A and B are shown apart, each in its own frame.
Chain A
């Protein structure tokens, strides 16, 4: 592919953007050349997304200029940006689920004829697919595809629009290790063909493996741009956080006690009424962490919701402290000491428009002393919320702040504080560190380990394999609603085998093959 023009592909200069008094970007300089992977590294709230939204024409900068191949541009809408050859692959799919892959490909193009030249579109798609290793079935409907496949469609869609610059927003968060490998191959291919690529991530290993240059942002400021060959993981982390960070997780030896929660042959359906968990059994012991690995959408979500009473199982029993549960409603599970850190913080765990105090009592608003007769004792609530905020270091201007204004890390601390107040018997934690900055991640992991020491039975679902391996005492891999295997020594299983299990090959089968070889 031949690209014309002179100068860097994209040059952003002095970009400043302020949201109601808070600078999200302050005079940031950023450039990407053709044939370069330039990573944008920073914690949540560092301004990566704002900067890229400006490049995509979603926000107008307060100050600063954008040049594309030496030509000054002003993007007033996403359309302007797309026409200049910029394409963003969002973290969450922006495709229409009920339409086919090829229909999504042309969706939003405005120079199409009334009768879609389907053959031509599919032909063009096929050539892009084979060139960049993005295999996907053109006639399949989006909802039938896995998250990884949907991501491939999103990338194809951007390439189909002849984008020269591709922005990938945390693309590996939803992929298996093998799928990530394939994505990296695609990225290298695009780079070799002269595309510029912005890779947004907070995973240091990936950034180091993939990029030519790395720009680090912190609190809206640019800390610096470094060549990948001249830096280390530790140096990057320090630039990102502003102080030295330790990556070590101090975990004492496991001390498993009696069984706190047991599932026997559980069947659960998903929202569409199709089976999501198919006869799964597990035991959670006090003082241990059971990790669950798996690609999103393999029944983890439904399993966890069943374990906290939010979803009814079709078949099977749940025992807490050896007794079979009779009533499957959240209140009964809460009463039995089951606590839940849902993945969807603002959607399930908290009420965004309500303030910290009101959110703090979501799980005990009916209990003494918070509740007094039919009223709520707001004086006690104030003390209760204050104790959570202090103990869990929630950074907030006041206790009357609506929680929608808190950052992801502070939301998670507030929720942890609430769920861990009182003594949980069982803690179900789903993606507890997802999207959190380094410091908050460490805080959350340490807190979970402390609960383990205190004797809680913990189920941990995560997409971060490093995290699962470091924290879990036992690690299970789920695929299509069944465990492909459980290992007692998570640190000794290879990534490759975990990947195979995530793809649906049972542990015994893998071990059988290894023995035969």
Chain B
């Protein structure tokens, strides 16, 4: 038998071991490709990866920093996951994070009460309502007039980001900030609880609760069932009497509300003030988190932790190895490219064509 070539064929069902093997293999391939890239930069790939690993997961400080990055990713990831489940493409989590933080800062500025419990409830509700309302606009346009939500949510990101800039450069700028675009530091009652000795804040508790809550909703509730049916087959959902418009707006509201809360915990829990560009693209990375987690609420937590580690490791590359930021981005990009690209092998199989001795035909 001689090999004649390759052919690609569709799989009917992917075996279970592939579900694990493909992302792991993708990750390893990404590191290998990244190694070539690092070697060209004159850096030892082994050193660089070791640095990334140690800085992010090597000690308790590294792990706590990883969790800090994972919190907004997990929350925004849960938010977009909810909309993706229904095949509504909310890619506006970034803007919803900004609007949530803007509402938080507004509450701190205009409704400040010197009680951390009351402040938490106020900030939580304000951020959720603002983020939710912001996203619902796109949801309603989509459900009622079929306006493409990808475009509207994306465009509204810019509006939200610049709206925050207007306030931090203008009326809300802290006169004592030496010209930096940021508000004054929040008073103590407007700061979220932080675990002692770390920067990990109350947001982690909210993220875990939300994750478990969504797991329960999708598994056991009537509404969760509706969302899954609408996402899997909108026509069948219609046929079963499920209300598409109502659910699209509701899901977009919740999706935006959760992202808004992520904005609130980020500024009230971590940074203590609202400032220009405070979210490092968490809302966009959240989209990737949701996909890598295959829209599973518990998996979103795990994936955001790994993604957080990648971000912390990337920071270390910049600081310790003196590599530019773009190096980190390249490595992150490679990992996503390989892991997501591996999806192809879940759906298709590659066959080797061999030359067989032609049998004689009996006639």
Query: Which residues of A pack against B, CB within 8 Å?
Result: 7, 11, 13-14, 19-20, 59-60, 65, 67, 72, 74, 76-77, 308-310, 329-332, 334, 340, 342, 344, 347-354, 358, 361-363, 365-366, 371, 374-376, 378, 405
Contact = CB atoms under 8 A, between A and B. Distances in A.
A329 B12 contact: no
19 contacts: A14-B359, A65-B359, A76-B5, A330-B238, A340-B239, A347-B235, A349-B236, A352-B232, A352-B233, A354-B229, A362-B229, A363-B241, A365-B225, A365-B240, A366-B222, A374-B222, A376-B220, A376-B225, A378-B220
B233 A13 contact: no
A342 B236 CA distance: 10
Interface in B186-231: 220-223, 225-226, 228-229
Interface string B330-363: 0000000000000000000001010000110101
A405 to B, nearest CB: 8
B13 interface: yes
Nearest to B351: A60
Contacts of B225: 358, 361, 365, 376
Contact of B241 (A65, A334, A358, A371): A334
A351 B351 CA distance: 31
Contacts, number: 89
A362 B236 contact: yes
Interface of B: 5, 7, 9, 11-13, 220-223, 225-226, 228-229, 232-233, 235-236, 238-241, 351, 353, 358-359, 361, 363
A361 B351 CA distance: 41
Contact of B232 (A59, A77, A353): A353
Contacts of B358: 65, 72
Given A65-B358, A351-B233, A60 B13 contact: no
Contacts of B7: 60, 76-77
Contact of B235 (A331, A332, A348, A354): A348
Q: Most A CB atoms within 10 A — which of B11, B222, B232, B238?
A: B222
A13 B361 contact: yes
A344 B7 CA distance: 33
Contacts of B240: 330, 334, 362-363, 365
A53 B361 CA distance: 22
Nearest to A374: B221
Contacts of A405: 13
A348 B241 CA distance: 12
Nearest to A371: B222
Contact of A330 (B241, B359, B363): B241
B222 A376 contact: yes
A74 B351 CA distance: 14
A305 to B, nearest CB: 9
Nearest to A370: B222
Given A19-B12, A65-B361, A329 B236 contact: no
Contacts of B226: 365
Given A340-B239, A348-B235, 18 more contacts: A11-B361, A14-B359, A20-B13, A60-B7, A65-B361, A332-B241, A334-B241, A348-B239, A351-B232, A351-B236, A354-B228, A362-B239, A363-B241, A371-B222, A374-B223, A375-B220, A375-B222, A376-B225
A362 B226 CA distance: 9
A366 B236 CA distance: 15
B241 A329 contact: yes
Nearest to B4: A74
B143 to A, nearest CB: 15
B40 to A, nearest CB: 38
B221 A375 contact: yes
A76 B228 contact: no
Contacts of B235: 344, 347-348
Contacts of B221: 374-376
Contact of A354 (B5, B12, B222, B232): B232
B18 to A, nearest CB: 12
B222 A330 contact: no
B236 A59 contact: no
A116 B361 CA distance: 44
Contacts of B238: 310, 330
Nearest to B224: A376
B137 to A, nearest CB: 25
A351 B361 contact: no
A67 B361 CA distance: 9
A20 B16 CA distance: 12
Nearest to B5: A76
A376 B220 CA distance: 6
Nearest to A378: B220
A14 B236 CA distance: 42
Contacts of A67: 361
Nearest to A366: B222
A363 B11 CA distance: 32
A310 B234 CA distance: 12
A349 B9 CA distance: 29
A347 B233 contact: yes
Nearest to B361: A13
A195 B281 CA distance: 63
A77 to B, nearest CB: 8
A368 B5 CA distance: 59
A269 B236 CA distance: 21
B340 to A, nearest CB: 20
Contacts of A363: 240-241
A162 B351 CA distance: 31
Q: Most B CB atoms within 10 A — which of A348, A371, A378?
A: A348
A310 B223 contact: no
Contacts of A353: 232
Contacts of B12: 19-20
Contact of A60 (B9, B228, B229, B233): B9
Nearest to A311: B238
B239 A342 contact: yes
Contact of B353 (A19, A76, A330, A374): A76
Contacts of A20: 11-13
Contacts of A354: 228-229, 232
B247 to A, nearest CB: 13
Contacts of A374: 221-223
A310 B232 contact: no
Given A65-B359, A371-B222, A376-B222, A330 B232 contact: no
Nearest to B230: A351
Contacts of B5: 76
Contacts of B222: 365-366, 371, 374-376
A139 to B, nearest CB: 33
The 7 A-B pairs of least Cβ separation, nearest first, read: A331-B241, A330-B241, A362-B240, A351-B233, A351-B232, A348-B235, A19-B12
Contacts of A19: 12
Nearest to A14: B359
A349 B223 CA distance: 20
Nearest to B223: A374
Nearest to B15: A20
A406 B269 CA distance: 51
B249 to A, nearest CB: 17
A83 B123 CA distance: 69
